[in-house]
Every structure is written in C-alpha cells, then in structure tokens.
Amino acid sequence: MSCPAAQKTHYAHPFDDDKLKEECGVFGVVGISDAANFVALGLHALQHRGQEAGGIVAHDAATGFNSAHRFGYVRDNFTKSSLMETLPGDVAIGHVRYSTAGSKGAVIRDIQPFFGEFSMGGCAVAHNGNLTNADALRRELIERGAIFQSSSDSECIIHLMARSIQRKHADRIADALRRVEGAFSIVAMTRTKLIGVRDPLGVRPLVLGKLGEHGYVLSSETCALDIIGADFVREIDPGEMVVIQDGHVESSRPFGPSTGRFCIFEHVYFSRPDSMIGGRSVYETRRAIGVELAREAPVEADLVCPVPDSGTPAAIGYSQESGIPFALGITRNQYMGRTFIEPTEQIRNMGVRLKLNVNKSLIRGKRVVLVDDSVVRGTTSRKIKDMILDAGAKSVHFRIASPPTAWPCFYGVDTPNRDKLLAAQMTEEEMREWVGVDSLKFISLDGLYRAVGEAEGRDNSCPQYCDACFSGEYPITPSDQLEKGFEMKAAE
C-alpha cells in the first residue's frame, strides 16, 4: 500500500545535515508467540540507527507470510494493535532504515525487509550495510531478466538467491553473499528458521540473544535485547552464518577464514551508549575517548560542556581527566521529531536553536570546552559556537571525540561527497579559523584505538578496525564508486 502523506514528512534532524547518518538496524525473533510484537520493541530500541522508515515480516502456520512497511518512527506505526494483529506467528524479522543506497526520500517499495518466493518456500531478508558492487550486479541481473522493484542495493541479494541452484534457503543466501562485495549484517527468515550472517570483515554489528526457554533473537545491538528481556549470548563472528530452528543454533563459515575489521565509528557515535561491543560498554569507551582527548589536547578552561547528546560521555571523561568541572551548558529539546514548516530563510536559520539552547547564566563569563563526537561539514559547529559566544562565553574551545572525517564511507553510512567534508579541504588550523573558535583539537587515530582497548594504538600494517572515514584506507574496494570516478588515497 502507498503512504503519500508520510512521504511528504521528513524525520530525524532535517535542519542538520552536519552529522553522519546511522546506517540501518535489523532485528529478528524465532520461537516466541507473537514474535512481531517483540520485533517492534526491538526496532524501537534501534530507532537511532534509522528514522526514515521501518518494516516487519512475520510467518504464521495458518496465514503464511505477512508484512507491514511504513514511513516514520516505529512508535507511530508498530504500536497499533490493528496493525500488529495482521502479523501473527512465532518467527519475524524487522528493519529500520536510513537510506544509504538507492533513492533518498524513498517510496514504500524501498523499505525492507524484502521478500522472495522460492521453490522451497518464501524467505524474507533484512540488510544492514552497503554493497559496494551493487551497480554492477544490478546491471548483470537486469540483463539476465531480473525485474527490480526497488532502488535499494539490498534487493540484489533476493535476485541472487533466486538464481542459486542450492536446495536450502541458507545455502542460497550463502551463494548470493559470495557474489557481493561490501558490508552486510543480514537477518533473514523462512517459515521456521531465523538466519543471521555477517560479512567476512564484520564491518557492521550483529548479536545473538536468548529469550525464554526456546526463543532466540538476532539484533544489531545489545540494547535491543534488553528492551525485551532477552539474555545476550554472543556476537556473531565476522564471516559467520547462524541458522536457528526448534531451539537449536547451527553455525557455519560460508566464506572461509576471515579477520575482522569492525567499524570503529560504531564505538564513537552510531551505537547506543548502553550497548556492548566486543565485551566492552560503549559508554565506557566514549568516556575513555574523553580521557585520551584531555591527555592529548589539554586547555585552561572553566567548564567542560557536551554537545548533546552524543558528546556527553566523552565530555565526562574529559572533565574527569582534566579536573575541569563538567556542566550541561547546552540543553537539547527532546521533542524534535518531525520537521517544522519553514517557509522563510529567517525561520530556517533558527534550525539549531530549535534543537539546542544555551544555559546563559551558566556560560556567561566562562572559558568553555565544547566536546562533540565529530565534525562533518562544520556548519553546525559554527552555529553552536555563535550560540555560546552570544551567551557571553569568554572563550570557546572545541574538542572532537574522533579524528578528522576526511573520507566518505561506502559501507552503510550516508556520508557526504569528499568535497563536502571539511577535513578533506582544510588543515586543523584552517578548520579552527573557519569555525571561529579559540582552539580546535581532534583525538588522534592512535588515541581513538587506545580508547577502544588497543593499548598499543593502531597497527598500521594490519589495522584492527575499519577506519576508512579517517584514514582513507578502504578494506573493501568500493568498485561502484571507482567506476563513477572516485579517487582512492594513494598508497604511502
């Protein structure tokens, strides 16, 4: 069904294009009655990973496969009993989306999970990540007769499954994924099985949970297990496939041996602070980033203030290490949901003030350290600096909890073109002058690695994480982008 009214509504932070947009979130449940209700709760916990749209597919022995795809927030759609009653069954998967490939401002057919009917029965697939050879695959598949329904790269997986000669769904999924390049964490379902797969480098996250006596859960993050009362079992390994049926988990390695290169920006920004990654609290990692920042870039100041909300743990760490008092000098409006009507330039220029407001009585006359997670285009940093100075601050110092973002991501993050990234065009000093602050310092790449638990820093000969957005070293060749003229960093 179409949803024309929803298509005209923009979500998340429409006035703020100065943040990297979270990729997507996937969630699946098997072995529990009314599985779709648990999936809806899980997707709600993963809403930070994608606010554009969401979808759920469920299977019931009596009614077969049923699906619902909607634009907007989970809370606005999948909390209605009239909708959830159409999704019965004890196996279900779901997806929240922020488009990283295909059309922006998508149509309903772009919303995952995608479904295919095969000779051995139906199968639904939800994908977090991005396929870097999707354009070439799409051309090949269309030439061979495939009819695409969406603009999403993820639909290639369904078409590749259809061409496999394997007789089991899991084997067809493995066949399809051997043809693709890029980053993928997949949650799929058949009539009786829940299937999870991570790409050989494990760029995007995927975890396994246990729910009750016979139920199992697959999720992008552990925080979504918590909301439904599931126990964390373990992370799905890079290059691993799990097939869950009748309370049993079968593991295989369809891509052979692999070494992980998990996305380091999950630690910095994407994952929720109450999630766990690699046995380590995301909150604690972000606090440790602040500690490293204080050691690398000290400054004399009166207050350490986070840029809400993602800068808060790092600001706490910076304050603890430096001894400078922590203060909430900026307050976030928690109810910034849908776009306000913005008919004039004057109203549009108020965008950041709709989201953030400065505590003037606290800031006035103070030397302020502002801690933020990243600088992308730099436009919001300039506006926040102006707000702090307008409130009477004596000086403003920016401390950034990630290295300069100088390269686009092609693995599931909606990143601007390189010519729109401030760090790709300017030195750190030039950025400081452009933003207009007294000092601007980023954590070093080695400092970031130390904060995530690598005591010796980055292993330059074999990096432990995917950090291409900082280093320009892409662990997976972005074939489609090279074909379009993208120039990779020259080997040093």
Q: Is 247 left (phi over 0), alpha (psi -120 to 50) or beta?
A: left
Nearest one of 184, 272, 185, 263 to 227, comparing CA atoms = 272
**Cα–Cα distance for residue pair 27/50, rounded to 1 Å:** 13
Decide: residue 280, CB within 10 A, 0-12 exposed, 13-18 middle, 19+ buried. Answer: middle
End-to-end alpha-carbon separation of the chain, Å?
Answer: 52
3-class secondary structure, 215: strand
The tokens 């920016």 sit on which residue?
Answer: 398
Q: Which amino acid is at 485?
A: G
Q: Indicate which residues carry an active-site annotation.
A: 24
**Cα–Cα distance for residue pair 316/331, rounded to 1 Å:** 16
The tokens 């030195």 sit on which residue?
Answer: 427
Are residues 466 and 261 in contact, defined by beta-carbon separation less than 8 angstroms?
yes
Distance of CA 392 to the CA centre of its chain: 36
Nearest one of 287, 240, 223 to 451, comparing CA atoms = 287
**Cα–Cα distance for residue pair 228/298, rounded to 1 Å:** 42
